[in-house]
Amino acid sequence: MDEFVERQEEMNENLTKVKFVSANKLTEENMSDVSQYNAIFNVYKSNAGKYKEVVLEAENLFYEIKGIEQELKKGKFDKEIDEFVKEYNHLKIELKHNQEETRQVTEKLKSVEPTFMRIAPAVDKIMEANFPAKQ
């Protein structure tokens, strides 16, 4: 779940560093790769944190629904069945909204995945060439 946030942080770090690479050290292809990498980063920046939020919200809703189902079995709602129906339906609506939000966020992140897989190695090469790892 945190892999999207970690990838976003790594991309941000790379994009910050590449700003300090002299333009004459980058080919047109390098600049195109960095531009595409930046576009992918923008998708991650606006969706990576949301992904974690919606997944955690879904988990919370699941446990809330299971909780009121258990309360129903224990007889808590025997005299207040309308209260159970009201609360249960409210949670089901929230869960449906969460599913739609999760689908949208996931689709956005998945849509940039092929480009990321193609561009990331090229950006890694730019980083290695201009910022060698310290031994």
Task: Tell me the CA distances in angstroms from 104 to 19, 51, 81, 109, 134, one per residue in order.
Answer: 31, 10, 35, 9, 41
Q: pLDDT value at position 84?
A: 86
pLDDT digits (tens, 9 = 90+) for 82-126: 888 899 999 999 999 999 999 999 999 999 999 999 999 999 999
> Do 58 and 99 form a contact (C-beta atoms < 8 A)?
yes
Give percent of the chain above pLDDT 70: 98
b/e map of 7-25 (b: 16 or more CB within 10 Å)?
bbeebeebeeebeebeeee
Instruction: Flag whether pLDDT at 134 surpasses 70.
Output: no
Cα of 120 vs its chain's centroid, Å: 18
pTM score, whole prediction:
0.78
Average pLDDT over residues 22-39: 94
**pLDDT band at residue 133 under the 50/70/90 scheme:** confident
Q: What is the pLDDT of residues 48-84, one digit of tens each?
A: 889 989 989 999 999 999 999 898 888 888 888 888 8
Q: Give domain limits for the chain.
A: 3-130
**pLDDT for 12:** 96
